Structure 1
Amino acid sequence: MRYVVGYTANARGGDAVNLAVALARRQGASLDLVMVLPADSPYNGVYPPEAGFKSILAGQVAAWLDEGLALIPADVPAKAHIYRGDSEAGVLINAARDLGASALIIGASSAGLFKRFSVGSVANALLHASPLPVVLAPSGYSRTEPITRLTCAVGTRVGAEGVLTVAVASAKRRGLPLRVVSLIALGNNEAGATVEDAKAHLRAVVAASQALQGSSLEKQAIDVVVGSGRTIEDAVDALNWKKGEILLIGSSRLAHNNSIFLGSTANRILRALPVPMIVVPRNYVGSADDLLQTTQIPVVDADGPREAKK
């Protein structure tokens, strides 16, 4: 299994590498650091490029990639790659396909609420077009130990059991505790759902997931938690987030099949979230191994070589 890391030579790139190491260690995966260079074009500032410019730029990028590889512990296989293209997001998607990656990992901007998440142009493009899961590292993410718990955010719309099915399989594959959460905003300007409604909905979704997964699967306990607050952001803050945790969330119904589209509620969750987030495409059909490598699910109430490709 392989993960592509969209690497940049700054703190955001370091955050992405740290999270990639944590995921790789949990999954036994290898990493591919990818930096994107602009394609040569007659519309560039200087065309044709001045003599020696391409080699100087490629040399600098190779040096940055060496710095990125140096952040990765020896127990995690990693390679570095240089790709060219006009769209960084598009190039990262193509690189992930070329390399047979299971997910794309990127860092967030440091300008978010409480310096957590702020989605820049590249992340925004990936979150509205990627055909494979996108993993976002919050600003300042420094943990490289394996992921310790998976939380799955479940909405109130039809199809919520789909993302839970992915979450159950992903958690089981690596023995991760699984928590399923629903977030309720109780403010005057928010929807009129209640905590009781949310708990009933979560139980129904877990039951539907149980039915979909059949009787040959082993039992797995799932914590069912409802977070509430005046706003969705307050509801996120009200939950207890553990170190080493990661949130799994599905795409909006507006997404094309097998593609990501981050909805408005997920965007609000992202602004307040203190842990990494995985966004999976709509109707995602990748194996559980692709992310984190059941009879009945009891419900528990609870508040290699390192080289540069040029």
Structure 2
Amino acid sequence: MRYVVCYQANARGQEALNLSIALARRQEAELEIVLVLPEESPFGAVYPPAPASLVQQQAERWLAEALAMVPSDVPARAQLRHGESEAEALIAAAEEFDAALLVIGAASHGLFKRFTVGSTASSLLHAAKVPVALVPQGYQNQEAITRMSAGIGSRAGADEVLELALDSAQRRGLPLRLISLLPLDGVQTAARENLQSKLNAALDSRPELNLEPEVVVAQGDSIEQAIDALSWEQPGEILLIGSSRLAPARSLFLGSTAQRILRALPVPMIVLPRGHQSRITP
């Protein structure tokens, strides 16, 4: 199993690398650390342009530094790619390596200093065919992930996310928490019973699973408040969430609820494409 890491020689790239290492340690995955340089173009050049050889050499030094930061127990390779679009180059790398995951850091500013989806991440969330992991600003953890949470809604696709969460938690040997978010005027008991019913049905059909997931219903005046009201096992937790029902099959699309969750979330989020196959769940 391979993860493609969007690397840049800055804090954002380091944070993406940190999460990749933490995830790889639970899956024994290999890292493909990719740094993308823009293709040379007379229309996009900065004058006087730097010699291509110097840019290449500097990029190779950055990649060597990235490899030096990867612990010896995590297999990793680094490569330099060129492309008109960073997102397109990363997607091409993911397809080439049959990657199970794309990992990218957040932009350097945002609500609560946690997440802001930059242009490359936004493009990935609209075009990638594999799960995309978004890393919050300041993420320093490289130790193995300790808990997985999954946001389970009531709309189409929720059962699919539940199945993928069960598969991933089982494969990683992680405790699993299932989260339902409600406005303050929502009926918490009904929401819990609905989610518990879905979980029971899934477990009954999968006797091979050795899991005892926790079911949690969070409430607040807003999605952001509901997220803040939850306890998060930092720095070792991740949140799985499905794509919007508007996404084409086997594609990503971050819906409005997920975007609001992202703005308040203190832990990394993995967005799953619609129709994603559990055999390659990250």
Same fold (TM over 0.5): yes
Shift of the alpha carbon at 1:286? 4.1
Aligned to 1:81: 79
- Structure 2 counterpart of 1:193: 186
Structure-1 separation of matches of 2:81 and 2:139: 26
Distance verdict in 2 for CA 1:95–1:215, change over 3 Å? closer
Deviations 1:209-258 (A, max 9, x none): 335xx354234211000111111000000001002010000000110100
Pair 1:33-2:33 in alignment? yes
Structure-1 separation of matches of 2:217 and 2:281: 28
Counterpart residue identity of residue 3, structure 1: Y
Q: Distance in 2 between matches of 1:219 and 1:79?
A: 34
Equivalent residue, structure 2, for 1:59: 57
Cα distance between partner residues in 2 of 1:115 and 1:72: 26
Contact 2:136 2:268 (C-alpha < 8 Å) held by counterparts: yes
Deviations 1:86-110 (CA, angstroms, capped at 9, x unpaired) = 1111110001111221100010012
- Give 1:124's match in structure 2, choosing from 109, 119, 122: 122
Distance 2:202 2:223 in 1: 25
SS of 1:279 mapped into structure 2: strand
Are the counterparts in 2 of residues 161 and 208 from structure 1 also a CA contact under 8 Å? no
Distance 1:215 1:20, change over 3 A: closer
2: CA distance between counterparts of 1:256 and 1:208? 27
Task: Report the AA paired with residue 214 of structure 2.
Answer: D
Contact 2:167 2:278 in 1 (8 A): no
Extract unaligned runs of 5+ from structure 1.
187-191, 292-310
Aligned mates of 1:252, 1:180 — CA distance in 2: 18
Decide whether the 8 Å contact of 1:162 with 1:209 is kept in 2.
no
Counting aligned pairs with the same residue, the percent is: 53
Matches within 5 A, 1:150-165: 150-165=148-163
**Aligned-CA RMSD value:** 1.7
Distance 1:43 1:209 in 2: 55
Aligned-partner Cα distance in 2 for 1:36–1:76:
22
Q: Does the aligned pair in 2 maintain the 1:13–1:106 contact within 8 Å?
A: yes
Deviation of the 1:159 alpha carbon = 2.5
Partner SS, residue 198 of structure 2: helix
Tell me, in whole angstroms, the C-alpha distance in 1 between the residues paired with 2:20 and 2:84: 25
Q: CA deviation at 1:208?
A: 4.1
The equivalent residue for 2:248 is 256
Q: Offset of 1:46 from its aligned partner?
A: 6.2
Counterpart in 2 of 1:45?
Answer: 45
Paired AA for residue 211 in structure 2: Q
Q: Note if contact 1:227-1:236 (Cα within 8 Å) is conserved in structure 2.
A: yes
Alignment: residue pair count: 281
Report what 1:301 is aligned to: none
Unpaired stretches in structure 2, ≥5 consecutive residues = none
Q: Secondary structure at the match of 2:127?
A: coil
Larger radius of gyration: 1
What SS is found at the alignment partner of 1:127? Answer: helix
Structure 1, residues 117-161: CA drift from partner, whole Å, max 9, x if none?
Answer: 111100111112210000111100001100000001011213311
> Taking structure 1 as the reference length, what is the TM-score of the superposition?
0.86
Q: Secondary structure at the match of 2:18?
A: helix
SS in 1 for 2:87: helix
Mapping 1:141-290, distance limit 5 Å: 141-186=139-184, 193-210=186-203, 214-243=205-234, 244-287=236-279, 289-290=280-281
Q: Check whether the contact 2:29–2:75 (CA below 8 A) recurs between aligned residues.
A: yes
The two structures have a TM-score, normalised by structure 2, of 0.95
Aligned to 1:298: none
